[in-house]
Chain A
Amino acid sequence: MNLPDDAQAALDSFAHCTGWEQRARLLMQWGQRLPELSEADKTEANRVHGCESLMWLAGKQVDGHWQFAASSEARLIRGLVALLLVRVNGLSSEELQRVDVQDWLNQLGLSRQLSPSRSNGLNAVLVRMRELAG
Protein backbone atom coordinates (compact mmCIF):
# COMPACT_ATOMS: atom_id res chain seq x y z
CA MET A 1 0.00 0.00 0.00
CA ASN A 2 1.29 3.44 -0.84
CA LEU A 3 1.90 5.55 2.21
CA PRO A 4 0.87 9.19 2.32
CA ASP A 5 3.86 11.56 2.05
CA ASP A 6 3.67 12.58 5.71
CA ALA A 7 3.63 8.96 6.79
CA GLN A 8 6.71 8.24 4.70
CA ALA A 9 8.40 11.25 6.28
CA ALA A 10 7.57 9.92 9.73
CA LEU A 11 9.01 6.53 8.87
CA ASP A 12 12.18 8.13 7.59
CA SER A 13 12.67 10.25 10.68
CA PHE A 14 12.03 7.42 13.16
CA ALA A 15 14.07 4.89 11.20
CA HIS A 16 17.32 6.49 12.32
CA CYS A 17 16.23 6.99 15.89
CA THR A 18 18.75 5.48 18.27
CA GLY A 19 17.73 6.20 21.84
CA TRP A 20 14.77 7.16 23.96
CA GLU A 21 15.80 10.81 24.06
CA GLN A 22 15.88 11.21 20.33
CA ARG A 23 12.58 9.36 20.06
CA ALA A 24 11.04 11.69 22.65
CA ARG A 25 12.31 14.78 20.84
CA LEU A 26 10.90 13.52 17.55
CA LEU A 27 7.57 12.69 19.16
CA MET A 28 7.31 16.20 20.51
CA GLN A 29 8.18 17.67 17.13
CA TRP A 30 5.47 15.59 15.49
CA GLY A 31 3.10 16.66 18.24
CA GLN A 32 3.56 20.27 17.20
CA ARG A 33 2.39 19.34 13.70
CA LEU A 34 -0.86 17.80 14.94
CA PRO A 35 -3.83 19.53 13.28
CA GLU A 36 -5.30 21.30 16.30
CA LEU A 37 -8.96 21.17 17.16
CA SER A 38 -10.66 24.49 17.62
CA GLU A 39 -11.89 25.29 21.13
CA ALA A 40 -15.45 24.90 19.83
CA ASP A 41 -14.71 21.29 18.90
CA LYS A 42 -13.41 20.41 22.36
CA THR A 43 -16.82 19.18 23.40
CA GLU A 44 -17.85 16.33 25.66
CA ALA A 45 -19.04 14.45 22.57
CA ASN A 46 -15.54 14.65 21.12
CA ARG A 47 -13.82 13.65 24.38
CA VAL A 48 -11.85 10.43 24.19
CA HIS A 49 -11.92 8.69 27.55
CA GLY A 50 -9.33 6.22 28.72
CA CYS A 51 -6.40 8.61 28.58
CA GLU A 52 -4.17 10.00 31.30
CA SER A 53 -4.62 13.39 29.71
CA LEU A 54 -7.61 15.22 28.33
CA MET A 55 -8.01 14.33 24.69
CA TRP A 56 -10.49 15.19 21.97
CA LEU A 57 -10.89 13.73 18.52
CA ALA A 58 -13.10 14.90 15.69
CA GLY A 59 -13.33 13.49 12.20
CA LYS A 60 -15.20 14.24 9.02
CA GLN A 61 -15.33 12.74 5.56
CA VAL A 62 -14.39 14.89 2.58
CA ASP A 63 -15.18 13.24 -0.75
CA GLY A 64 -15.13 9.86 0.93
CA HIS A 65 -11.79 10.46 2.65
CA TRP A 66 -11.49 10.78 6.40
CA GLN A 67 -9.83 13.79 7.97
CA PHE A 68 -9.24 13.67 11.69
CA ALA A 69 -8.08 16.38 14.05
CA ALA A 70 -7.23 15.91 17.70
CA SER A 71 -6.07 17.71 20.80
CA SER A 72 -4.21 16.47 23.83
CA GLU A 73 -2.79 18.31 26.78
CA ALA A 74 0.22 16.01 26.90
CA ARG A 75 2.99 16.62 24.41
CA LEU A 76 4.19 13.06 23.86
CA ILE A 77 0.66 11.77 23.49
CA ARG A 78 0.02 14.56 21.00
CA GLY A 79 3.02 13.22 19.08
CA LEU A 80 1.72 9.68 19.14
CA VAL A 81 -1.70 10.81 17.94
CA ALA A 82 -0.10 12.92 15.21
CA LEU A 83 1.76 9.87 13.96
CA LEU A 84 -1.48 7.91 13.99
CA LEU A 85 -3.25 10.64 12.03
CA VAL A 86 -0.61 10.85 9.30
CA ARG A 87 -1.24 7.17 8.69
CA VAL A 88 -5.04 7.30 8.63
CA ASN A 89 -5.95 10.73 7.30
CA GLY A 90 -7.14 10.48 3.74
CA LEU A 91 -8.29 6.86 4.03
CA SER A 92 -11.76 5.70 3.08
CA SER A 93 -13.99 4.10 5.73
CA GLU A 94 -13.18 0.69 4.38
CA GLU A 95 -9.44 1.32 4.44
CA LEU A 96 -9.70 2.75 7.93
CA GLN A 97 -11.28 -0.46 9.26
CA ARG A 98 -8.48 -2.49 7.66
CA VAL A 99 -5.41 -0.42 8.50
CA ASP A 100 -2.96 -2.28 10.74
CA VAL A 101 -2.03 0.30 13.32
CA GLN A 102 0.07 -2.10 15.36
CA ASP A 103 2.20 -2.74 12.30
CA TRP A 104 2.46 0.98 11.66
CA LEU A 105 3.71 1.64 15.18
CA ASN A 106 6.07 -1.34 14.91
CA GLN A 107 7.61 0.26 11.86
CA LEU A 108 8.11 3.46 13.83
CA GLY A 109 9.61 1.58 16.79
CA LEU A 110 6.70 2.66 18.97
CA SER A 111 4.82 -0.62 19.23
CA ARG A 112 4.87 -0.70 23.02
CA GLN A 113 2.73 2.43 23.05
CA LEU A 114 -0.31 0.45 21.92
CA SER A 115 -0.08 -2.30 24.54
CA PRO A 116 -3.25 -2.80 26.60
CA SER A 117 -1.57 -1.75 29.83
CA ARG A 118 -0.73 1.68 28.50
CA SER A 119 -3.21 4.30 29.50
CA ASN A 120 -1.98 6.88 27.02
CA GLY A 121 -5.25 6.60 25.18
CA LEU A 122 -3.92 5.56 21.81
CA ASN A 123 -6.14 2.48 21.91
CA ALA A 124 -9.13 4.62 22.80
CA VAL A 125 -8.36 6.99 19.92
CA LEU A 126 -8.24 4.09 17.52
CA VAL A 127 -11.54 2.69 18.78
CA ARG A 128 -13.15 6.10 18.40
CA MET A 129 -11.88 6.49 14.84
CA ARG A 130 -13.32 3.15 13.85
CA GLU A 131 -16.64 4.00 15.51
CA LEU A 132 -16.81 7.22 13.55
CA ALA A 133 -16.02 5.43 10.33
CA GLY A 134 -18.72 2.89 11.27
Chain B
Amino acid sequence: MLLPSPWRADFPAIAALQRQDQTYLDSAATSQKPQALLDALTHYYANGAANVHRAQHLPGAHATQAFENTRHKVTQWLNAGECGQIVFSHGATSALNLLAYGLEHQFNAGDDIVVSALEHHANLLPWQQLAQRKKLNLVILPLDADGVIDLEAAARLITPRTRLLAVSQLSNVLGVWQPLPELLALARTQDALTVVDGAQGVVHGRHDVQALGCDFYVFSSHKLYGPDGLGVLYGRHEALARLQHWQFGGEMVQDADYQHATFRAAPLGFEAGTPPIASVIGLGATLNYLANLDQAAVEAHEAALHGLLVEGLKQRQGIRLLGAPQLALVSFVVEGVHNADLAHLLTEQGIAVRAGHHCAMPLLKSLGLAGAIRVSLALYNDSDDLERFFIALDQALELLQ
Protein backbone atom coordinates (compact mmCIF):
# COMPACT_ATOMS: atom_id res chain seq x y z
CA MET B 1 0.00 0.00 0.00
CA LEU B 2 1.14 3.48 -0.84
CA LEU B 3 0.36 5.07 2.53
CA PRO B 4 -0.42 2.59 5.31
CA SER B 5 -1.32 4.01 8.71
CA PRO B 6 0.86 2.52 11.47
CA TRP B 7 -1.82 3.58 14.01
CA ARG B 8 -4.83 2.00 12.32
CA ALA B 9 -4.80 -1.15 14.48
CA ASP B 10 -4.94 1.00 17.63
CA PHE B 11 -8.54 1.89 16.68
CA PRO B 12 -10.66 -1.28 16.85
CA ALA B 13 -13.71 0.40 15.29
CA ILE B 14 -11.90 0.88 12.00
CA ALA B 15 -11.62 -2.89 11.52
CA ALA B 16 -15.23 -3.35 12.68
CA LEU B 17 -16.42 -0.78 10.16
CA GLN B 18 -14.37 -2.41 7.45
CA ARG B 19 -16.08 -5.73 8.19
CA GLN B 20 -19.34 -3.91 7.48
CA ASP B 21 -17.83 -2.61 4.23
CA GLN B 22 -17.72 0.90 5.59
CA THR B 23 -14.91 3.31 4.82
CA TYR B 24 -14.92 6.02 7.46
CA LEU B 25 -14.03 9.43 6.06
CA ASP B 26 -16.05 11.63 8.41
CA SER B 27 -13.61 12.21 11.24
CA ALA B 28 -14.16 15.96 11.23
CA ALA B 29 -17.67 15.16 12.51
CA THR B 30 -16.45 12.70 15.10
CA SER B 31 -13.46 10.42 15.38
CA GLN B 32 -13.05 6.74 16.14
CA LYS B 33 -11.49 5.89 19.49
CA PRO B 34 -8.21 4.24 20.43
CA GLN B 35 -8.19 1.00 22.43
CA ALA B 36 -6.47 2.89 25.25
CA LEU B 37 -9.63 4.95 25.73
CA LEU B 38 -11.91 1.92 25.68
CA ASP B 39 -9.70 0.28 28.32
CA ALA B 40 -9.83 3.36 30.53
CA LEU B 41 -13.64 3.54 30.36
CA THR B 42 -13.96 -0.16 31.16
CA HIS B 43 -11.50 0.16 34.00
CA TYR B 44 -13.33 3.09 35.53
CA TYR B 45 -16.77 1.51 35.35
CA ALA B 46 -15.55 -1.97 36.30
CA ASN B 47 -13.54 -0.82 39.30
CA GLY B 48 -15.93 1.57 40.98
CA ALA B 49 -17.60 4.68 39.65
CA ALA B 50 -17.89 7.57 42.06
CA ASN B 51 -18.72 11.24 41.99
CA VAL B 52 -15.88 13.76 42.05
CA HIS B 53 -15.04 16.56 44.46
CA ARG B 54 -17.66 15.44 46.96
CA ALA B 55 -17.08 12.26 48.82
CA GLN B 56 -14.58 11.30 51.51
CA HIS B 57 -14.65 7.65 50.52
CA LEU B 58 -11.94 5.85 48.61
CA PRO B 59 -13.80 5.38 45.29
CA GLY B 60 -14.55 9.11 45.34
CA ALA B 61 -10.91 9.90 45.98
CA HIS B 62 -9.81 7.66 43.10
CA ALA B 63 -12.31 9.15 40.66
CA THR B 64 -11.36 12.70 41.69
CA GLN B 65 -7.69 11.89 41.29
CA ALA B 66 -8.19 10.46 37.80
CA PHE B 67 -10.46 13.38 36.87
CA GLU B 68 -7.94 15.98 38.01
CA ASN B 69 -5.12 14.07 36.31
CA THR B 70 -6.88 14.70 33.01
CA ARG B 71 -7.14 18.39 33.80
CA HIS B 72 -3.40 18.36 34.30
CA LYS B 73 -2.83 16.45 31.03
CA VAL B 74 -4.99 18.91 29.08
CA THR B 75 -3.03 21.78 30.64
CA GLN B 76 0.14 20.15 29.33
CA TRP B 77 -1.40 19.31 25.96
CA LEU B 78 -2.19 22.98 25.35
CA ASN B 79 0.91 24.19 27.19
CA ALA B 80 -1.31 26.36 29.35
CA GLY B 81 1.31 26.29 32.13
CA GLU B 82 0.57 28.66 34.98
CA CYS B 83 -1.18 31.24 32.85
CA GLY B 84 -4.68 29.80 32.88
CA GLN B 85 -7.12 27.09 33.84
CA ILE B 86 -8.90 24.20 32.14
CA VAL B 87 -12.69 24.07 32.58
CA PHE B 88 -14.62 20.97 31.52
CA SER B 89 -17.98 21.47 29.81
CA HIS B 90 -20.43 19.17 28.08
CA GLY B 91 -19.05 19.94 24.62
CA ALA B 92 -17.41 22.69 22.61
CA THR B 93 -20.83 24.18 21.87
CA SER B 94 -21.59 24.22 25.56
CA ALA B 95 -18.25 25.91 26.30
CA LEU B 96 -18.93 28.64 23.73
CA ASN B 97 -22.40 29.18 25.19
CA LEU B 98 -20.83 29.46 28.64
CA LEU B 99 -18.66 32.27 27.27
CA ALA B 100 -21.51 34.04 25.50
CA TYR B 101 -23.63 34.04 28.68
CA GLY B 102 -20.85 34.42 31.21
CA LEU B 103 -19.38 37.45 29.44
CA GLU B 104 -22.74 39.10 28.69
CA HIS B 105 -22.29 41.73 31.41
CA GLN B 106 -19.08 42.90 29.71
CA PHE B 107 -20.99 44.36 26.78
CA ASN B 108 -22.94 47.56 26.27
CA ALA B 109 -25.39 48.38 23.50
CA GLY B 110 -23.52 49.42 20.37
CA ASP B 111 -20.38 47.37 21.11
CA ASP B 112 -19.01 45.12 18.38
CA ILE B 113 -18.48 41.39 18.46
CA VAL B 114 -16.32 40.19 15.59
CA VAL B 115 -16.50 36.70 14.09
CA SER B 116 -15.49 35.40 10.69
CA ALA B 117 -17.56 34.30 7.70
CA LEU B 118 -16.48 30.68 8.12
CA GLU B 119 -17.61 30.04 11.67
CA HIS B 120 -19.32 26.80 12.60
CA HIS B 121 -22.78 27.51 14.02
CA ALA B 122 -21.38 26.75 17.48
CA ASN B 123 -19.08 29.78 17.25
CA LEU B 124 -21.61 31.98 15.48
CA LEU B 125 -25.03 31.50 17.04
CA PRO B 126 -24.08 32.08 20.71
CA TRP B 127 -22.56 35.45 19.68
CA GLN B 128 -25.39 36.28 17.29
CA GLN B 129 -27.93 35.67 20.04
CA LEU B 130 -25.87 37.63 22.56
CA ALA B 131 -25.75 40.50 20.06
CA GLN B 132 -29.54 40.38 19.81
CA ARG B 133 -30.01 40.29 23.60
CA LYS B 134 -27.71 43.25 24.22
CA LYS B 135 -28.19 45.25 20.98
CA LEU B 136 -24.59 44.69 19.88
CA ASN B 137 -23.27 44.66 16.34
CA LEU B 138 -22.10 41.32 15.00
CA VAL B 139 -19.29 42.09 12.56
CA ILE B 140 -18.36 39.40 10.02
CA LEU B 141 -14.78 39.17 8.77
CA PRO B 142 -14.76 38.26 5.06
CA LEU B 143 -12.61 35.54 3.47
CA ASP B 144 -10.31 35.60 0.49
CA ALA B 145 -10.71 33.17 -2.41
CA ASP B 146 -8.62 30.51 -0.65
CA GLY B 147 -10.87 30.59 2.41
CA VAL B 148 -8.50 32.57 4.63
CA ILE B 149 -9.82 35.46 6.72
CA ASP B 150 -8.89 38.64 4.87
CA LEU B 151 -6.41 40.42 7.14
CA GLU B 152 -6.70 43.79 5.41
CA ALA B 153 -10.44 43.76 5.94
CA ALA B 154 -9.92 42.52 9.51
CA ALA B 155 -7.61 45.47 10.21
CA ARG B 156 -10.43 47.80 9.16
CA LEU B 157 -13.23 45.92 10.92
CA ILE B 158 -11.54 45.36 14.28
CA THR B 159 -11.89 48.79 15.86
CA PRO B 160 -12.05 50.47 19.27
CA ARG B 161 -15.71 49.37 19.37
CA THR B 162 -14.65 45.69 19.22
CA ARG B 163 -15.12 44.07 22.61
CA LEU B 164 -14.59 40.46 21.54
CA LEU B 165 -13.14 38.49 18.64
CA ALA B 166 -14.20 34.85 18.19
CA VAL B 167 -12.61 32.88 15.35
CA SER B 168 -11.96 29.31 14.28
CA GLN B 169 -8.43 28.07 14.10
CA LEU B 170 -9.15 25.62 11.28
CA SER B 171 -12.35 25.70 9.25
CA ASN B 172 -14.48 22.56 9.36
CA VAL B 173 -15.56 23.22 5.77
CA LEU B 174 -12.50 24.71 4.10
CA GLY B 175 -9.63 22.93 5.86
CA VAL B 176 -7.56 26.10 6.00
CA TRP B 177 -5.51 27.39 8.93
CA GLN B 178 -6.56 30.88 9.86
CA PRO B 179 -4.02 33.64 10.56
CA LEU B 180 -4.55 33.62 14.33
CA PRO B 181 -1.39 35.47 15.40
CA GLU B 182 -2.27 38.46 13.22
CA LEU B 183 -5.98 38.42 14.12
CA LEU B 184 -5.34 38.06 17.84
CA ALA B 185 -2.81 40.90 17.69
CA LEU B 186 -5.41 43.15 16.05
CA ALA B 187 -7.89 42.32 18.80
CA ARG B 188 -5.36 42.83 21.60
CA THR B 189 -4.52 46.28 20.26
CA GLN B 190 -8.16 47.17 20.92
CA ASP B 191 -8.24 45.45 24.32
CA ALA B 192 -10.85 43.05 22.98
CA LEU B 193 -11.32 39.59 24.46
CA THR B 194 -10.25 36.75 22.16
CA VAL B 195 -11.90 33.35 21.74
CA VAL B 196 -10.42 30.63 19.54
CA ASP B 197 -12.62 27.75 18.39
CA GLY B 198 -10.09 24.94 18.24
CA ALA B 199 -12.59 22.13 17.57
CA GLN B 200 -10.87 21.17 14.30
CA GLY B 201 -7.47 22.73 14.90
CA VAL B 202 -6.71 20.83 18.09
CA VAL B 203 -6.88 17.51 16.20
CA HIS B 204 -3.99 18.40 13.93
CA GLY B 205 -0.62 19.20 15.40
CA ARG B 206 0.08 20.59 18.84
CA HIS B 207 -0.98 24.08 19.81
CA ASP B 208 0.40 26.33 22.48
CA VAL B 209 -2.16 28.67 24.02
CA GLN B 210 0.55 30.74 25.70
CA ALA B 211 2.27 31.33 22.38
CA LEU B 212 -1.09 32.08 20.74
CA GLY B 213 -1.94 34.52 23.49
CA CYS B 214 -5.70 34.03 23.23
CA ASP B 215 -7.96 34.62 26.22
CA PHE B 216 -10.03 31.50 25.62
CA TYR B 217 -9.48 28.33 23.61
CA VAL B 218 -12.27 25.80 23.13
CA PHE B 219 -12.30 22.25 21.80
CA SER B 220 -14.36 19.10 22.01
CA SER B 221 -13.00 15.78 23.19
CA HIS B 222 -14.82 13.60 20.69
CA LYS B 223 -13.09 15.05 17.65
CA LEU B 224 -9.69 14.53 19.32
CA TYR B 225 -10.17 10.73 19.56
CA GLY B 226 -11.74 11.16 22.99
CA PRO B 227 -15.18 10.39 24.42
CA ASP B 228 -18.21 12.52 23.56
CA GLY B 229 -20.20 14.71 25.89
CA LEU B 230 -17.07 16.58 26.93
CA GLY B 231 -15.77 19.98 25.93
CA VAL B 232 -12.67 21.79 27.08
CA LEU B 233 -12.40 25.48 27.79
CA TYR B 234 -9.02 26.98 28.45
CA GLY B 235 -9.12 30.48 29.87
CA ARG B 236 -6.36 32.87 30.91
CA HIS B 237 -6.67 33.71 34.61
CA GLU B 238 -7.44 37.37 33.87
CA ALA B 239 -10.08 36.44 31.31
CA LEU B 240 -11.71 33.80 33.52
CA ALA B 241 -12.00 36.40 36.26
CA ARG B 242 -14.29 38.40 33.97
CA LEU B 243 -16.61 35.44 33.45
CA GLN B 244 -19.81 35.36 35.51
CA HIS B 245 -21.26 32.09 36.68
CA TRP B 246 -23.77 30.71 34.22
CA GLN B 247 -25.21 27.37 35.21
CA PHE B 248 -25.94 26.65 38.83
CA GLY B 249 -26.04 23.61 41.05
CA GLY B 250 -23.77 20.85 42.25
CA GLU B 251 -20.28 21.50 43.47
CA MET B 252 -19.89 24.90 41.82
CA VAL B 253 -21.38 26.38 44.98
CA GLN B 254 -19.30 27.70 47.85
CA ASP B 255 -22.04 28.52 50.31
CA ALA B 256 -25.79 28.51 49.91
CA ASP B 257 -28.74 29.87 51.89
CA TYR B 258 -32.35 29.82 50.77
CA GLN B 259 -32.12 33.34 49.37
CA HIS B 260 -28.44 33.74 48.53
CA ALA B 261 -25.44 31.76 47.39
CA THR B 262 -21.80 32.27 46.63
CA PHE B 263 -19.88 30.36 44.03
CA ARG B 264 -16.46 28.95 43.50
CA ALA B 265 -13.86 30.39 41.19
CA ALA B 266 -12.73 28.61 38.01
CA PRO B 267 -12.52 25.84 37.18
CA LEU B 268 -15.04 24.23 39.56
CA GLY B 269 -17.32 27.26 39.62
CA PHE B 270 -18.06 26.72 35.95
CA GLU B 271 -18.62 22.98 36.18
CA ALA B 272 -22.19 22.85 37.46
CA GLY B 273 -23.76 19.49 38.15
CA THR B 274 -22.01 16.16 37.92
CA PRO B 275 -19.44 16.45 35.16
CA PRO B 276 -18.98 13.72 32.52
CA ILE B 277 -16.54 11.89 34.78
CA ALA B 278 -15.91 8.81 32.65
CA SER B 279 -15.42 10.95 29.57
CA VAL B 280 -12.90 13.15 31.37
CA ILE B 281 -10.99 10.08 32.52
CA GLY B 282 -11.22 8.65 29.00
CA LEU B 283 -9.87 11.85 27.47
CA GLY B 284 -6.90 11.52 29.79
CA ALA B 285 -6.21 8.05 28.38
CA THR B 286 -6.54 9.36 24.83
CA LEU B 287 -4.09 12.16 25.53
CA ASN B 288 -1.63 9.64 26.98
CA TYR B 289 -1.99 7.60 23.83
CA LEU B 290 -1.54 10.61 21.56
CA ALA B 291 1.38 11.97 23.54
CA ASN B 292 3.27 8.73 22.92
CA LEU B 293 2.92 8.92 19.14
CA ASP B 294 5.61 10.30 16.91
CA GLN B 295 3.93 13.64 16.25
CA ALA B 296 6.07 14.41 13.22
CA ALA B 297 5.18 11.04 11.69
CA VAL B 298 1.46 11.66 12.31
CA GLU B 299 1.62 15.06 10.66
CA ALA B 300 3.59 13.72 7.70
CA HIS B 301 1.07 10.88 7.23
CA GLU B 302 -1.91 13.23 7.40
CA ALA B 303 -0.27 15.66 4.99
CA ALA B 304 0.54 12.89 2.49
CA LEU B 305 -3.02 11.53 2.63
CA HIS B 306 -4.47 14.99 2.21
CA GLY B 307 -2.20 15.56 -0.78
CA LEU B 308 -3.50 12.37 -2.39
CA LEU B 309 -7.08 13.39 -1.74
CA VAL B 310 -6.70 16.88 -3.20
CA GLU B 311 -4.74 15.59 -6.18
CA GLY B 312 -7.30 12.88 -6.94
CA LEU B 313 -10.19 15.32 -6.81
CA LYS B 314 -8.42 17.86 -8.99
CA GLN B 315 -7.77 15.23 -11.65
CA ARG B 316 -11.48 14.65 -12.11
CA GLN B 317 -13.62 16.70 -14.43
CA GLY B 318 -16.14 19.16 -13.10
CA ILE B 319 -15.09 19.01 -9.45
CA ARG B 320 -14.79 22.30 -7.61
CA LEU B 321 -13.02 22.40 -4.25
CA LEU B 322 -14.23 24.87 -1.65
CA GLY B 323 -11.33 27.19 -0.85
CA ALA B 324 -7.76 25.92 -0.98
CA PRO B 325 -7.74 23.17 1.65
CA GLN B 326 -4.39 22.65 3.39
CA LEU B 327 -5.06 19.66 5.61
CA ALA B 328 -7.51 17.37 7.33
CA LEU B 329 -10.44 17.67 4.96
CA VAL B 330 -11.70 18.71 1.57
CA SER B 331 -15.18 19.94 0.69
CA PHE B 332 -16.26 19.85 -2.91
CA VAL B 333 -19.14 20.06 -5.32
CA VAL B 334 -19.51 18.58 -8.79
CA GLU B 335 -20.85 20.62 -11.66
CA GLY B 336 -24.32 19.50 -12.65
CA VAL B 337 -24.59 16.99 -9.80
CA HIS B 338 -26.61 17.60 -6.67
CA ASN B 339 -24.58 16.88 -3.55
CA ALA B 340 -27.52 14.95 -2.08
CA ASP B 341 -27.47 12.58 -5.07
CA LEU B 342 -23.74 12.06 -4.80
CA ALA B 343 -23.99 11.52 -1.06
CA HIS B 344 -26.75 8.97 -1.61
CA LEU B 345 -24.63 6.94 -4.03
CA LEU B 346 -21.49 7.14 -1.88
CA THR B 347 -23.56 5.87 1.05
CA GLU B 348 -24.83 3.01 -1.10
CA GLN B 349 -21.20 2.04 -1.65
CA GLY B 350 -20.21 2.18 2.00
CA ILE B 351 -18.35 5.47 1.89
CA ALA B 352 -19.02 7.46 5.04
CA VAL B 353 -18.62 11.11 4.12
CA ARG B 354 -20.67 14.11 5.09
CA ALA B 355 -23.01 15.99 2.78
CA GLY B 356 -24.87 19.19 3.40
CA HIS B 357 -24.10 22.51 5.03
CA HIS B 358 -21.69 21.21 7.70
CA CYS B 359 -23.21 23.41 10.41
CA ALA B 360 -21.95 26.46 8.56
CA MET B 361 -25.03 27.51 6.61
CA PRO B 362 -24.04 31.18 6.21
CA LEU B 363 -20.67 30.16 4.74
CA LEU B 364 -22.26 27.77 2.23
CA LYS B 365 -24.83 30.42 1.30
CA SER B 366 -22.07 32.98 0.78
CA LEU B 367 -20.40 30.55 -1.62
CA GLY B 368 -23.71 30.25 -3.45
CA LEU B 369 -24.07 26.58 -2.50
CA ALA B 370 -26.86 24.64 -0.85
CA GLY B 371 -24.39 22.04 0.30
CA ALA B 372 -21.17 20.23 -0.41
CA ILE B 373 -19.57 16.83 0.13
CA ARG B 374 -16.86 16.76 2.78
CA VAL B 375 -14.21 14.07 3.01
CA SER B 376 -12.28 14.27 6.25
CA LEU B 377 -9.23 12.37 7.40
CA ALA B 378 -7.74 11.14 10.63
CA LEU B 379 -4.47 9.48 11.55
CA TYR B 380 -6.01 6.00 11.15
CA ASN B 381 -6.98 6.50 7.51
CA ASP B 382 -4.77 5.06 4.81
CA SER B 383 -4.43 5.30 1.06
CA ASP B 384 -6.68 2.25 0.56
CA ASP B 385 -9.50 4.25 2.16
CA LEU B 386 -8.95 6.96 -0.42
CA GLU B 387 -8.74 4.44 -3.23
CA ARG B 388 -12.11 3.00 -2.21
CA PHE B 389 -13.50 6.52 -2.04
CA PHE B 390 -12.28 7.39 -5.53
CA ILE B 391 -13.60 4.16 -7.05
CA ALA B 392 -16.99 4.85 -5.47
CA LEU B 393 -16.89 8.48 -6.57
CA ASP B 394 -16.17 7.51 -10.17
CA GLN B 395 -18.97 4.94 -10.19
CA ALA B 396 -21.41 7.45 -8.71
CA LEU B 397 -20.47 10.16 -11.17
CA GLU B 398 -20.76 7.76 -14.08
CA LEU B 399 -24.38 7.19 -13.09
CA LEU B 400 -25.15 10.83 -12.39
CA GLN B 401 -23.30 12.73 -15.12
Please list the residues of chain A having a beta carbon within 8 angstroms of any beta carbon in chain B.
20-21, 23-25, 28, 51-54, 73-77, 119-120
Q: How far is the CB of B349 from chain A (nearest CB, A)?
A: 6
**Residues A23 and B348 in contact, CB atoms below 8 Å apart:** yes
17 sample A-B contacts, Cβ–Cβ < 8 Å, listed by A number: A20-B345, A20-B348, A24-B344, A28-B399, A51-B340, A52-B340, A52-B343, A53-B370, A53-B371, A54-B370, A73-B338, A74-B338, A74-B344, A75-B400, A76-B340, A120-B340, A120-B344
Interface string of B314-356 (1 = CB under 8 A from A): 0000000000000000000000001111011100110000011
The answer to whether A24 touches B399, judged by C-beta atoms less than 8 angstroms apart, is yes
Contacts of A20 in B (CB 8 A): 345, 348-349
Q: Point out the residues of chain A lying under 8 angstroms from B348, CB to CB.
A: 20, 23-24
Q: How far is the CA of A5 from the CA of B341 in the complex (A)?
A: 28
Whether the pair B370, A76 counts as a contact (CB closer than 8 A) is no
| A81 → chain B closest CB, angstroms | 12
Contact for B340 among A24, A28, A77, CB less than 8 A: A77
Contact A76 B371, CB 8 Å, known A52-B339, A53-B338: no
User: Which of A21, A77, A119 is in CB contact (< 8 Å) with B356?
Assistant: A119
Residue of B nearest to A53 (CB): B340
Interface residue? B395 (CB, 8 A): yes
B399 adjacent to A52 (CB under 8 Å): no
* Chain B interface, DSSP helix/strand/loop, else mixed: helix
Q: Which residues of B contact A76 (CB under 8 A)?
A: 340-341, 344-345
Bound together, the chains give a CA A28 to CA B338 distance in angstroms of 13
Pick the contact of A52: B345, B371, B395 (CB < 8 A). Answer: B371
Contact call A52/B355, Cβ cutoff below 8 A: yes
What residues on A are CB-neighbors of B400 within 8 Å?
Answer: 75
When distances are taken between beta carbons in the complex, the residues of chain A under 8 Å from B344 are 24, 74, 76-77, 120
For B, the interface residue count at a CB cutoff of 8 angstroms equals 16
Complex alpha-carbon distance, A17 and B340, angstroms: 22
- Assess whether B341 is in contact with A74, with CB atoms less than 8 Å apart: yes
Taking CB atoms, residues of chain B closer than 8 Å to A24 are 344-345, 348, 399
Using CB atoms and an 8 Å cutoff, list the residues of chain B in contact with chain A: 338-341, 343-345, 348-349, 355-356, 370-371, 395, 399-400
Q: A74: shortest Cβ distance to chain B, in Å?
A: 4
Given A52-B356, A54-B370, A119-B356, is A21 in contact with B399 using a C-beta cutoff of 8 Å? yes
Among B338, B344, B349, max chain A CB count under 10 A is at: B344
The 5 closest A-B pairs by CB, nearest first: A52-B340, A20-B348, A74-B340, A74-B338, A53-B340
CA distance A100 to B320 in the complex (A): 41
How far is it, in angstroms, between the C-alpha of A57 and the C-alpha of B340 when the chains are bound? Answer: 18
Name A75's contact: one of B338, B343, B356, B395 (CB within 8 Å).
B338
Q: Which residues of B contact A77 (CB under 8 A)?
A: 340-341, 344
Which residues from chain A contact B345 at a C-beta distance below 8 Å?
A: 20, 24, 76
Interface centre among A23, A24, A119, by most B CB within 10 Å? A24
B398's nearest neighbour on chain A, judged by CB, is A21
State in angstroms the CA–CA spacing of A11 and B313 once bound together.
Answer: 38
CA distance A126 to B231 in the complex (A): 36
Which residues of A have CB within 8 Å of B341?
74-77
Chain B residues, CB < 8 A from A120: 340, 344
A113's nearest neighbour on chain B, judged by CB, is B344
A75 to chain B, nearest CB (A): 5
* 13 further A-B pairs in the complex, CB-CB below 8 A; given A52-B340, A52-B343, A74-B340: A20-B345, A24-B344, A24-B348, A28-B399, A52-B370, A52-B371, A53-B338, A53-B340, A73-B340, A75-B338, A77-B341, A120-B340, A120-B344
Residue of B nearest to A80 (CB): B344
**List of A residues within 8 angstroms of B370 by Cβ:** 52-54, 73
Chain A residue nearest in CB terms to B345: A24
Smallest CB separation, A4 vs chain B (Å): 26
Across the interface, name the chain A residue whose C-beta is closest to B343: A52
